[in-house]
């Protein structure tokens, strides 16, 4: 009788159910790019103020057309713009950062961490395999400048537009 009673108790005590519902509250404060957990900021100094800005919608925008007295980057050229914007870890965990490009920007635009010297052998920050981090991670409160390389050797004269996705993932 004792064995039968313990078997019945085990069957009843499994906690198995087919569905459940529980209402909870949630608060989300959506912030501008410059104030988000992944801070995207325009540095606002002479090297970058013509190329990056925070829009009225609060998003970082890069624009390399019609800045200064020229109409844009030269055809059949490679141009590097240092410190175009900054990426800041304003979250609660260490992160790594990388970029993903629209297909029409692939091979034309690249992003690189600007640490005072550009490394010609650096593949850029395109794809998770080339993610940037200081010593394996970008710690909470750290920020780094990002440069932009534009290669127009296989591009016709005219406007190039596309979307760039900035990714960040926590690292242990």
Q: Read out DSSP for 77-92?
A: -EEEEEEEEEEEE-SS
**What radius of gyration do the chain's Cα atoms show?**
24
Query: What is the DSSP secondary structure assignment for residue 32, as one 8-state letter?
Result: -
Res. 170 pLDDT band, cuts 50 70 90: confident
| DSSP three-state, residue 107 | coil
In DSSP terms, which residues pair with 169 in a beta bridge?
A: 96
Least confident segment among 46-55, 72-81, 92-101, 155-164: 46-55
What digits encode the pLDDT tens for the residues 107-148?
888 888 876 554 555 567 888 888 777 555 678 888 888 888
What digits encode the pLDDT tens for the residues 25-80?
676 777 888 888 888 988 765 455 578 888 888 888 888 876 667 778 888 889 88
Residue 171 has pLDDT above 70, yes or no: yes
Mean pLDDT of 72-93: 87
Between CA 41 and CA 20 the distance in angstroms is 43
Alpha-helical (H) ranges within the chain are: 2-12
Res. 2 pLDDT band, cuts 50 70 90: low
Cβ pair 83, 114 in contact under 8 A: yes
pLDDT value at residue 52: 87
3 vs 78, higher pLDDT: 78
> Minimal CA–CA distance to 164: which of 37, 16, 59?
59
Domain ranges of the chain: 2-170
Res. 15 pLDDT band, cuts 50 70 90: low
On the 0-12 / 13-18 / 19+ scale of CB atoms within 10 A, 67 is middle
């Amino acid at each position: 009788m004792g064995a039968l009673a313990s078997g019945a108790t085990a069957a009843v005590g499994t906690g198995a159910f087919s569905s459940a519902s529980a209402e909870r509250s949630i608060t989300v404060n959506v912030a501008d790019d410059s104030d988000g957990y992944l801070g995207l900021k325009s540095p606002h100094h002479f090297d970058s103020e013509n190329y990056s800005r925070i829009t009225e919608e609060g998003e970082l925008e890069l624009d390399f057309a019609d800045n200064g007295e020229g109409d844009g980057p030269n055809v059949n050229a490679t141009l590097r713009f240092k410190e175009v914007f900054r990426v800041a870890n304003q979250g609660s965990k260490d992160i790594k950062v990388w970029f993903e490009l629209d297909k029409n920007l692939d091979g034309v635009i690249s992003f690189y961490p600007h640490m005072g010297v550009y490394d010609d052998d650096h593949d850029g920050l395109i794809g998770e395999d080339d993610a940037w981090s200081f010593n394996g991670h970008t710690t909470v409160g750290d920020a780094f400048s990002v440069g932009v390389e534009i290669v127009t050797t296989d591009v016709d004269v005219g406007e190039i537009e596309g979307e760039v996705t900035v990714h960040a993932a926590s690292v242990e």
